[in-house]
Chain A
């Protein structure tokens, strides 16, 4: 029999601040996209598109992923966060440097971008160190734990290459093949960090939410090994412009993601409970991994000369499918689960066993979750269509639909405030209502 590890309670406030910053960044990015869709179609100056991409990836997704990581890594590693001071230092650097970085990109002042990027990188490195130490203090050789630490490694690599790239653009390191470093920067960031985090976190959270367990550990390990092995192969392949090796690396990554999807499919098909709306949104994003990965593979095979056809702009297609098709629905879905849980944990956890407290599901409104789900689906279809057909109107519609989804999340957040201010407690003997979920 194994005893329990040291006790801990997750930290909610740092996660809430990161989530708030992420949601604000998402709103700005969507407003930008709705007002100037040409920035996304490549018709505007390159600096504007680069800034919009970084606002989406770092401001929206990066903030949300870090906010979730400060909550989830202590859960996965079954111990407390290593340092709150480091976490707040990370937040301060992140919030201060990102606006300067974006402004420098829009104005195409790459020296400024390098300085702001260095500050942002310092914050990210502090965050990664804090999280890695947290994760490794109770090192468990499980696919989720190992996969998450590897994702943090790819984040560090992404940040380092981003700073290197900004320095190269500002006139230093003339010998550097900036185009190759850019491809690697994008691959490590989108695939290594974001997709790697999604895969690792799913192996932990999905069984937890479905009251189930990973059905085949070997499948989970295979997925992690193929994804990260493919990425490791992509480093020399992309730096050396070795098309054949890039295709092999892409194939390994795609097979790894396919194995992950197979495991998720088994978990969902054998689930013991119905899927609530946040989980439906999450799994919609997970399912979109298939077309996103295939688009990436087609692009890589085309570059290697092994395939005659490819989308007009494969990089942009993969980016749009990955960011708006996969990651945004996944993040919004997970946020619909994590944010109410954090509020519940903060306000009601101390009263458990002493008074009748609401269930986590009682803190959210199912109709709002349902509207959020349909906004996300509309948004991803419109944005994907807008990029495929270079249609500005579709991009505007997509931005507005995603804006609706973000507004729903904000409404959910606002609905938590009364609970935080005036917790609803009843005597312990009060009869319990039939369990319900946000799918009702």
Chain B
């Protein structure tokens, strides 16, 4: 059982940490790629991250999910991390941030 943390983790801090998670096929981080949806933080430090795959059945699912769990788990105050994939609404290129578009050299 997880004990209550001294500090409730900040969502911004978790999102910022996820900038270190790079999609190895596309070459930019999952936040700028628009793959991170809602992040929920419970009072006991449990974190739930919603990920939106760029395509259904992407073979990177597990890899990115494991990476997100590890990175978010390292944020101060986080006691447990759950990653859920969602397809509704589906990922579209419009989800890519301006920083991501610039990094990708999108046309």
Q: Which residues of A contact B (CB under 8 A)?
A: 1-4, 7-10, 71, 74-78, 204, 207-208, 211-213, 271-274, 341, 344-345, 348-350, 352-354, 356-361, 428-429, 432, 434-437
Chain A residue contacts of B87, Cβ below 8 A = 2
Name which of B59, B62, B68, B71 has the most chain A CB atoms within 10 A of its CB. Answer: B59
- In the complex the two chains form, what is the Cα distance from A429 to B74 in whole Å? 13
- In the complex the two chains form, what is the Cα distance from A432 to B93 in whole Å? 21
Q: Which of A76, A274, A349, A358 contacts B57 (CB under 8 A)?
A: A76
| A272 x B57 contact (CB < 8 A) | no
Chain B residue contacts of A212, Cβ below 8 A = 93
Chain B residue contacts of A204, Cβ below 8 A = 55, 57
| A7 x B93 contact (CB < 8 A) | no
**Beyond A75-B59, A273-B107, A352-B24, 13 extra complex contacts between A and B, CB < 8 Å:** A3-B85, A8-B62, A204-B57, A208-B55, A213-B55, A272-B93, A274-B105, A341-B59, A349-B62, A352-B67, A360-B25, A434-B103, A435-B105
Chain A residue contacts of B103, Cβ below 8 A = 434-435
12 A-B contacts (beta carbon < 8 Å): A3-B86, A208-B55, A271-B107, A273-B105, A273-B107, A341-B25, A352-B66, A353-B67, A354-B70, A428-B71, A432-B29, A435-B26
> Is B5 an interface residue when CB atoms closer than 8 A count as contact?
no
Name which of B25, B70, B86 has the most chain A CB atoms within 10 A of its CB. Answer: B25
- In the complex the two chains form, what is the Cα distance from A369 to B106 in whole Å? 22
> Is B4 an interface residue when CB atoms closer than 8 A count as contact?
no
| A360 x B86 contact (CB < 8 A) | no
| B27 x A345 contact (CB < 8 A) | no
Q: Shortest beta-carbon distance, B107 to chain A, in Å?
A: 7
Q: Which residue of B lies closest to A145 (CB)?
A: B57
Name which of A4, A341, A358 has the most chain B CB atoms within 10 A of its CB. Answer: A4
Q: Which residues of B contact A (CB under 8 A)?
A: 20-22, 24-29, 54-59, 61-71, 84-88, 90, 92-93, 103-107
Count of A-B contacts with CB under 8 A? 108
Is chain A's interface secondary structure helix, strand, loop, or mixed overall?
loop
| A359 x B62 contact (CB < 8 A) | no
Q: Which of B22, B64, B88, B106 contacts A272 (CB under 8 A)?
A: B106
- In the complex the two chains form, what is the Cα distance from A10 to B87 in whole Å? 21
Chain B residue contacts of A356, Cβ below 8 A = 22
- In the complex the two chains form, what is the Cα distance from A429 to B103 in whole Å? 18
| A429 x B20 contact (CB < 8 A) | yes
| A361 x B20 contact (CB < 8 A) | no
| A3 x B84 contact (CB < 8 A) | yes
The 6 nearest A-B residue pairs measured at CB:
A353-B67, A435-B27, A4-B85, A352-B67, A78-B57, A353-B70
Q: A7-B62, A208-B54, A213-B92 are known contacts. Are A348 and B24 too (CB-CB below 8 A)? A: yes
- In the complex the two chains form, what is the Cα distance from A211 to B96 in whole Å? 11
Chain A residue contacts of B92, Cβ below 8 A = 213
Q: Shortest beta-carbon distance, B69 to chain A, in Å?
A: 8
Name which of A3, A348, A428 has the most chain B CB atoms within 10 A of its CB. Answer: A428
- In the complex the two chains form, what is the Cα distance from A429 to B90 in whole Å? 30
Q: Which residue of A lies closest to B62 (CB)?
A: A7
| A359 x B22 contact (CB < 8 A) | yes
Name which of B54, B62, B88, B106 has the most chain A CB atoms within 10 A of its CB. Answer: B62
- In the complex the two chains form, what is the Cα distance from A280 to B91 in whole Å? 25
Q: Which residue of B lies closest to A73 (CB)?
A: B57
Q: A3-B86, A8-B62 are known contacts. Are A272 and B70 too (CB-CB below 8 A)? A: no
- In the complex the two chains form, what is the Cα distance from A28 to B22 in whole Å? 41
| A272 x B27 contact (CB < 8 A) | no
| A344 x B61 contact (CB < 8 A) | no
| A435 x B57 contact (CB < 8 A) | no
| B65 x A7 contact (CB < 8 A) | yes
Chain A residue contacts of B64, Cβ below 8 A = 352
Chain B residue contacts of A4, Cβ below 8 A = 61, 84-86
- In the complex the two chains form, what is the Cα distance from A29 to B56 in whole Å? 37
Q: Which residue of A lies closest to B57 (CB)?
A: A78
